[in-house]
Amino acid sequence: MPSIKYTYFDGRGLGEVNRVMLAAGGMKYEDVRLHESKWAGMKSATPMGELPLLEVDGTTICQSNSIARYIAREAGLAGKTSIDQAKVDMIMEGARSLFDKAAQIFILPEAEKAVRKKKLEEKEAPELLEYLNKLASGKGYFVGDQLTAADVALYVNYESVGSLTIALPSLDKYPNLKKVAENVKANPGIAKWLKERPVTTY
Amino acid sequence: MPTYKLTYFKARGVAEFARLLFAAGGLEYEDVRVEGEQWQQLKPKTPMGQLPILEVDGAMICQSKAIGRLIAKKIGMAGKTDLEAARADMITDGLEDLIGLKMSFFFTEKDENKKEEKKKEFVEKILPSALDLFEKLASAEGYFVGNSLTWADVNFFSLFNGFINRFIPGDHLKNHVNLNKVMGNVSSNPGIAKWLKERPETQF
């Protein structure tokens, strides 16, 4: 079993999906959380000057989505066939786009922020969640009938957007997505992590 | 032998690297281009209300990177090991950050003065430092992953030509030996060279 070291800031943000998947796969890893001041010194030594980073087998991988896909494969959550894998990929991209939109709004000046926040909350997010709801099964899985990285990505991104003070519609409106969230939370490794993980503001 | 049907707008845009990959792998596919009313009718039938979509084996896949990865795996250009695949993925994601995110003002900024300001910052600071970064990630032989063409190289070519050169003409790669090699390796792939000569001319 290669040793795995995962580095991100001390928060959930776009780094959390990987911690949750490592937990789902029962994979041991070093959960390194950097303070901003420490990061400044390390930045230029990383592949793209960004976090998170995954170090495994002497290789460093950056880009949280790419890390997520690698962990998903190792943890058996990537989908069985090429097409299943493509479906998992597309859901992960879609779920992540929700977080990306919210994060972009966060850094805007106040006046623009309010307008964009309203648009996300009232139009863009409900539309995307509606599409995603149709893509999930009644049993609460995006692909096949077992947990994949797609389900995990939906849950973690939804949760993270909430932390950015964006008022997303409740999952009660999206019965299939609600089941997806329940399935994710019920996975033993994930349930344990959700209970034990450090509490952070984002 | 599965049949592939790729649907996008009448443009290169973010679907072009998929078309380049089909060409590189010599894979037959139906290259469908829609607009206006056609698109409005198709939209609710797509997985997420967006293009491109790829239809294969009764499945409909959206999200350009998911599509690209599927084709790349099919034609053996996704990386030889799991870690190589992750590296190809991370290069692709990084390119999307550069083009999709940092260049998005080109398409969304309505204020001409602000746009000029952002363009100046992009051309003088953001683009050069990103290219320096990608230069380090590419090998002297001109490959981002291992020592053969992967979809990471094709993506770089497609995004660089389709977005950077298209909207900000200039000799941006003059100091980037490795990146020039990447561009050369992609454009000299026989399938890709043929497609580049024959593809429909579109504004964007």
Domains observed in chain B = 4-76+191-198 (3.40.30.10), 82-188 (1.20.1050.10)
Pairs across A and B, CB distance < 8 A: 95
Structure pTM? 0.93
The reply to whether residue B89 touches residue A66, judged by beta carbons under 8 angstroms, is yes
- CB B65 to CB A63 under 8 A? no
Is B82 in Cβ contact with A131 (below 8 Å)?
no
What is the rounded average pLDDT of the residues A36-59?
93
Burial code (b: 16+ CB inside 10 Å, e: under 16) for B188-197 equals ebebbeebee
pLDDT the model gives residue B1: 67
- Considering only the beta carbons, identify the residue of B66, B87, B94 that sits closest to A86: B66
Mean pLDDT, to the nearest integer, of B50-65? 96
CA distance A60 to chain B (A): 9
Looking at residue A1, its pLDDT comes to: 61
The tens digit of pLDDT for each residue in A147-166 reads 999 999 999 999 999 888 89
Looking at residue A115, its pLDDT comes to 93
> CB-CB: which of B56, B67, B86 is closest to A66?
B86
pLDDT of B129 over the 80 cut: yes
> Could you read off the pLDDT of A82-96 as tens digits, one per residue?
999 999 999 999 999
Interval A50-81: pLDDT, tens = 999 999 989 999 999 999 999 999 999 999 99
Position A201 pLDDT exceeds 90:
no
Q: Is the pLDDT of residue B28 over 80?
A: yes
A86:B90 CB<8 A? no
Whole-complex ipTM:
0.91
The confidence band for B15, taking pLDDT boundaries of 50, 70 and 90, is very high
Residue A156 has a pLDDT of 96
Considering A16-30, A33-47, B118-132, the range whose residues carry the highest mean pLDDT is A16-30
Determine which of B6, B45, B48, B98 to mutate to test the interface with A (most A C-beta atoms within 10 Å): B48
Predicted confidence (pLDDT) per residue in A104-142, tens digit: 898 888 888 999 999 999 999 999 999 999 999 999 999
Pick among B90, B92, B103, B139 to test the A interface (most A CBs inside 10 A): B90
d(CA A43, CA A50): 7
pLDDT at B100 over 80: no
- Which domains, ranges and CATH numbers included, belong to chain A? 4-76+190-196 (3.40.30.10), 82-186 (1.20.1050.10)
Mean pLDDT of chain B: 94
Flag if B69 and A89 touch (Cβ within 8 Å): yes
Q: Any chain B CB within 8 A of the CB of A87?
A: yes
B94/A89 CB distance under 8 A: no
Instruction: List the structure tokens of B146.
Output: 């291992």
Max Cα–Cα distance, chain B, nearest Å: 53
For residue B107, what pLDDT band results from cuts at 50, 70 and 90? confident
Contact at CB, B90 and A48, closer than 8 angstroms: yes
Confidence band (pLDDT; 50, 70, 90) for B2?
confident
Residue in A closest to B96 by C-alpha: A63
Helix A175-186 / helix A149-163 crossing angle, nearest 10 deg: 100
Which among A47, A61, A89 has CB closest to B63? Answer: A89
In A, minimum Cα distance to B137 occurs at A47
Query: Nearest-CA distance from A157 to chain B in Å?
Result: 16
Residue B41: what pLDDT? 97
CA distances from B202 to A64, A110, A142, B16, B22 (A): 34, 39, 36, 11, 19
Tell me the two tokens of residue B35: 């607009």
| Statement: residue A2 has pLDDT above 90 | no
Give the H or E element holding residue A51: none
Mutant choice from B93, B97, B98 vs A, greatest count of A C-beta within 10 A: B93
What was the pLDDT predicted at B108?
Answer: 82
The nearest CA of chain A is from the CA of B55 a distance in Å of: 10
**Range list of β-strands (E), B3-150:** 4-9, 30-34, 53-56, 59-62
A122 Cβ contact partners less than 8 Å away, ≥ 6 residues apart: none
